[in-house]
Structure 1
Amino acid sequence: MYRLLAALLGLLAFSMPLRAQEAGRLLEYERVSAAGLPDQRLSIWLPPGYDADDQRYPVLYMHDGHNLFDLKNSNFNKIWAADKAMLSAVKSGKVEPHIIVGIWAPGSDRYRQYLPRSAYDAASGTLRTRMDQTANGEVVSDLYLAWIIGPLKSWVDSSFRTRAGRDDTAIVGSSMGGLMSCYAFLEAPQVFGRAGCVSSHWPAIDPRVVEGEDRGVRDLWDAWFAARLGQPDGRRVWLDHGTATLDAYYAPYQQVIDARFAALGWQKGRDWESKVYQGAEHEENAWAARLPEIFGWLLAED
């Protein structure tokens, strides 16, 4: 209880409005304390009409929040334009407006915060050694997930007009954030009814050094999904990758994972989707280009 209260007070103490938009309102929350983690930061988008009505909204949590909305916050002067993608999906008539909670990546700690702890624990040999070298510290994705589904979600649901149930709660990320989104979906199925795993970095480390051991990495992910995925039960997952730059390495892993979904009885097009975008690179502009499609399928009303 004390940790929860401290986390909530941290959120409240550093909240401030960033700007008002005709197409929604963006809020920023700085230096958010989270037990066992580097300080976190949030950018939260409220859809148009939020301030003028009393309806409740589903919630979408997204990683790498600094790259979602505002170019001045982005790493590479590129953004997902998640607010515009949401507006496009809503305009289609298939998707309800969602509150978007963008969780910023903690700089150099990003890898150890996003690498799924249960997959890390299952790794061995050279792969585990490479993971340790890349993480340069304790892997804390289990603590990150506990914070999201505990203090953060509790604060979001109490501070905004949300619909807090599983079927109204989604999580989306790319690259290592794609791994983290799948991790959250598998480890907290009671919380997340939707997950978008975009250009997920299945090699887990530099794919150039994993070559020769890639069969072992594919087996690791296959066993990981086999042990945790379960039955759809109304849930939905989006998986994808491009074919250029870093995404060019992903197809062999994605094919194994796709086969596991099918083997467990998930129906493609209804329960899960897996797409390949020819020529698409591993970068924010490519993800922004397909995000309306992702939202349109993943968040569509049943």
Structure 2
Amino acid sequence: MFRHLAALLALLALALPLRAEDRGRLLEYERIAAAGLPDQRLTIWLPPGYDGSMQRYPVLYMHDGHNLFDVTKSNFNKIWAADQAMLAAMESGEVEPHIIVGIWAPGADRYRQYLPRSAYDAAPPSLRAQMDAAAGGAVVSDRYLAWLTGPLKSWVDTAFRTRPGRDDTAIVGSSMGGLMSCYAFLEAPEVFGRAGCVSSHWPAVDPRAVEGESASVKALWDAWFAARLGAPEGRRVWLDHGTATLDQFYAPYQQVVDARFAAAGWQRGRDWESRVYEGAEHEENAWAARLPEIFGWLLRK
């Protein structure tokens, strides 16, 4: 965990500038200690004009930071191109420039860092046993969320010119990162006013392994959202999935979640949105293709 403010500011001074041009600038921070978690790593994008002004910016936190900007650092030689998506969304005039904080996934520990702890605790025994097998260790998403909302956000708001309020703080991720984004949004509503839950992996484990108990998985997510969703109060959520590869399994679960939003009085198109992308696969190129649309809706003024 970040221990002293001086150390946090020193990190800023030592950041490695990866790219500097009129389309924004990337900074990288390696081996950040976080209590109870694997070491964390960040790639941060500063929007065009950041260095030449005193403007303050809203902040977007994104999971799987290694797959956001630089194809040479990505897992699958594919990226979201999050900076390009932000630039495209900004061109409409409806989306302000955002600082993007990309948080790298910690390798083999990704699953246990992104699986929502409160959903894990509420899971039926057979599903929890499969979660345990996939996690290979303690589920630590509660610690990850505490780090996100505490030491990390405090540092970002100190080191950069941010607008730190709830309505200027968003979180976006895909697959297990989609679950983690919903988790952060529901468990820390005072921090995150916007969430993008992209191709969320609602089965939580191999979807073929839970086909026989899909009703209990649906019931888990329905109860989980029902207990935490509350009134919109100006908050906004984007949900989506494709129809190919892993995404082909998500529709029945997404429909349950959509129904819960409607039942809770959230107005579709204003407070929440849910989209299906026909033919879209579960991979970075598919997410990159729709990310400008996601940003355009989720982050609009």
TM-score with structure 2 setting the length = 0.97
The aligned counterpart of 2:88 is: 88
The aligned counterpart of 1:35 is: 35
Q: Name stretches of at least 5 consecutive residues in structure 2 with no aligned partner.
A: none
Q: After the TM superposition, which of the residue ranges 124-133 and 230-239 deviates more from structure 2?
A: 124-133
Task: Determine if contact 1:7/1:151 at 8 Å carries over to the other structure.
Answer: no
Instruction: Write the distance in 1 (CA, Å) between the matches of 2:5 and 2:129.
Output: 33
The one of 3, 6, 13 aligned to 1:5 = 3
Instruction: Write the distance in 1 (CA, Å) between the matches of 2:40 and 2:232.
Output: 32
The alignment partner of 1:213 has SS state of helix
Task: Determine if contact 1:7/1:33 at 8 Å carries over to the other structure.
Answer: no
Say whether residues 1:147 and 2:147 are aligned partners: yes
Instruction: Write the distance in 1 (CA, Å) between the matches of 2:82 and 2:118.
Output: 29
**Which amino acid in the other structure matches residue 175 of structure 2?**
S
Task: Determine if contact 2:22/2:49 at 8 Å carries over to the other structure.
Answer: no
**Which amino acid in the other structure matches residue 294 of structure 1?**
I
Task: Determine if contact 2:170/2:195 at 8 Å carries over to the other structure.
Answer: yes
Residue-by-residue CA offset, 1:187-225 (whole Å, 9 max, x unaligned)? 000000000000000000010111101110000000000
Deviation of the 1:16 alpha carbon: 2.1
The aligned counterpart of 2:208 is: 208
Task: Determine if contact 1:10/1:31 at 8 Å carries over to the other structure.
Answer: no
The alignment partner of 2:3 has SS state of helix
**Which amino acid in the other structure matches residue 97 of structure 2?**
P
Residue-by-residue CA offset, 1:118-158 (whole Å, 9 max, x unaligned)? 00000122100000000000000000000000000000000
Instruction: Write the distance in 2 (CA, Å) between the matches of 1:11 and 1:257.
Output: 41
Instruction: Write the distance in 2 (CA, Å) between the matches of 1:276 and 1:11.
Output: 43
The aligned counterpart of 1:125 is: 125
The alignment partner of 1:289 has SS state of helix
The alignment partner of 1:150 has SS state of helix
The alignment partner of 2:149 has SS state of helix
Deviation of the 1:6 alpha carbon: 4.9
Instruction: Write the distance in 1 (CA, Å) between the matches of 2:19 and 2:155.
Output: 21
The aligned counterpart of 1:18 is: 18
The aligned counterpart of 2:226 is: 226
Residue-by-residue CA offset, 1:144-197 (whole Å, 9 max, x unaligned)? 000000000000000000000000000000000000000000000000000000
Residue-by-residue CA offset, 1:267-291 (whole Å, 9 max, x unaligned)? 0000000000000000000000000
Q: How does 1:88-107 map to 2 (within 5 A)?
A: 88-107=88-107
How many residue pairs get matched? Answer: 299
Instruction: Write the distance in 2 (CA, Å) between the matches of 1:244 and 1:21.
Output: 37
TM-score with structure 1 setting the length = 0.97
Task: Determine if contact 1:202/1:253 at 8 Å carries over to the other structure.
Answer: yes
Deviation of the 1:17 alpha carbon: 1.8
Instruction: Write the distance in 2 (CA, Å) between the matches of 1:75 and 1:8.
Output: 33
Q: C-alpha root-mean-square deviation of aligned residues, in Å?
A: 1.2
Deviation of the 1:21 alpha carbon: 2.7
Deviation of the 1:11 alpha carbon: 7.7
Between the two proteins, what is the percent identity of the paired residues? 78
Residue-by-residue CA offset, 1:3-57 (whole Å, 9 max, x unaligned)? 5425873684463222213200000000011000000000000000000111000
Task: Determine if contact 2:2/2:8 at 8 Å carries over to the other structure.
Answer: no
Instruction: Write the distance in 2 (CA, Å) between the matches of 1:150 and 1:8.
Output: 16
